[in-house]
């Protein structure tokens, strides 16, 4: 199962130890780590990426569920770019793109208080014991959440509401006098543009999720082949 993991520690040294433990579990075949990073919460509520691991099949974190989660953990002020962050710093998106619930963000944020440090990772994990055992031994508090399916914005409440508004404007336009029709036409054009932008953004998001899923599948396929080769 694809999951987001956040493990909160009291110090950077413990967080780096936790990051290494995740990579060791990946090497052992207990989990598959698709992307990982160490972030620290600053006194002003922003998060700094202290160290980003190899994002592997996900490529740049920008636009991915993983990158969105890091952005959301940075709070309203966003993510501060740390020295090791490079292109991954500051990738922000909404909860739909992160594919997790707001309650998960709240739970993590309540524990990830200023000056605490966390390992954030997107993983394939069939059972929780390996990660929990390693992280608890280091002193980490583990949060995990399965990734939800990407939502199709064409069926979203927001787009549906805008379409309803557009239908109402069209009805008014049909009955309005010529002087009023010009203003209604302008409003209709603006609203239709917003609808199309939402649909296009969601199309791109769904395509990105599909590409990431294909890349993840290739990683698992490669690992399975390596395991078979060792066994033969």
Crossing angle of the two packed helices 65-73 and 102-111, in degrees rounded to 10: 50
Q: What is the pLDDT of residue 87?
A: 31
User: What are the backbone angles phi and psi of residue 159, rounded to the nearest 5°?
Assistant: -65, -40
**pLDDT, position 85:** 38
pTM: 0.66
Classify the C-alpha dihedral 10-11-17-20 as positive or negative: positive
Residue 58, SS3 per DSSP: helix
Q: How do the pLDDT tens digits run along the chain, 232 residues long?
A: 888 899 999 999 999 999 999 999 998 889 999 888 899 988 887 788 886 655 554 445 545 778 788 888 875 444 444 433 333 333 334 566 677 777 888 889 889 998 899 999 999 888 899 999 999 999 999 999 888 765 554 457 678 878 888 998 999 999 888 888 988 999 999 999 988 887 887 777 777 777 777 777 777 788 778 777 777 7
- Residue 24 is predicted with a pLDDT of 94
The predicted structure's pLDDT at residue 48: 83
- pLDDT value, residue 150: 52
Q: How far apart are CA 8 and CA 2, in angstroms?
A: 20
pLDDT at residue 130, rounded to an integer: 93
Give me the half-sphere count of Cα atoms (radius 13 Å) on the Cβ side of residue 223: 16
38: left (phi over 0), alpha (psi -120 to 50) or beta: beta
Question: What is the predicted pLDDT for the residue at 62?
Answer: 47
């Amino acid at each position: 199962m694809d999951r987001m993991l956040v493990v909160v520690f009291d110090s950077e040294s413990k967080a780096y130890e936790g990051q290494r433990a995740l990579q060791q579990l990946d090497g052992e075949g207990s989990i598959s780590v698709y992307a990982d990073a160490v972030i620290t919460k600053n006194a002003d509520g922003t998060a700094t990426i202290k160290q980003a691991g190899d994002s592997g099949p996900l490529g740049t974190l920008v636009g991915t569920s993983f990158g969105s989660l890091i952005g959301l953990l940075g709070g309203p002020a966003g993510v501060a770019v740390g020295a090791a962050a490079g292109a991954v710093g500051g990738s922000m998106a909404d909860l739909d793109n992160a594919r997790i619930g707001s309650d998960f963000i709240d739970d993590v944020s309540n524990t990830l208080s200023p000056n605490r440090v966390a390992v954030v990772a997107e993983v394939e994990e069939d059972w929780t014991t390996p990660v929990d055992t390693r992280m608890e031994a280091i002193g980490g508090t583990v949060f995990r959440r399965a990734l939800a399916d990407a939502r199709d914005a064409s069926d979203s409440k927001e787009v549906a509401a805008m379409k309803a508004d557009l239908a109402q404007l069209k009805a008014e336009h049909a009955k309005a006098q010529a002087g009023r029709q010009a203003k209604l036409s302008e409003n209709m054009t603006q609203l239709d543009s917003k609808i199309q932008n939402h649909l296009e953004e969601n199309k791109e998001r769904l395509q990105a999720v599909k590409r990431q899923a294909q890349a993840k599948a290739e990683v698992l396929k490669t690992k399975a082949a390596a395991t078979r080769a060792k066994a033969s």
